[in-house]
Amino acid sequence: MLGKIMNNTTLWIVVGLIAAVLIFKRLSYISPEAARKYLQEGALVVDVRSAEEYRGEHLPMAVNIPLGDLQNRLPSRVNDKNQVLLLHCLSGTRSGIAKRQLKGMGYQNVFNLGSYGRAKSIVSGMRGN
């Protein structure tokens, strides 16, 4: 009996932790409205997925700089550390890592769009698209 209670308690703790992580991840995304405003003002969309993923499907205005290449390639592409950068990947995890990495490099206006699907939805919801 005690073993069953412990297993149920452990299960609920794990479920709770997973839910908390997912909620926290979602809260770290820029709002669609703010992202669209930045896009209209000339924000750069950076797809941090691999080159293979990018070739398979990508947003027309996105530049592909894979997460592992950001430190080497982004500074030559974007030397203005105040440029608004909207990052996305497949699920939002790599773009979250990229956001922290770029903030550490001194970029001031870096935002996580989240997953490719979310980014696509935000971009397609803009007027004129």
**Residues carrying an active site annotation:** 89
Report d(CA 51, CA 53) in Å as an integer. Answer: 6
* Residue 93 buriedness (CB in 10 A; 0-12 / 13-18 / 19+): middle
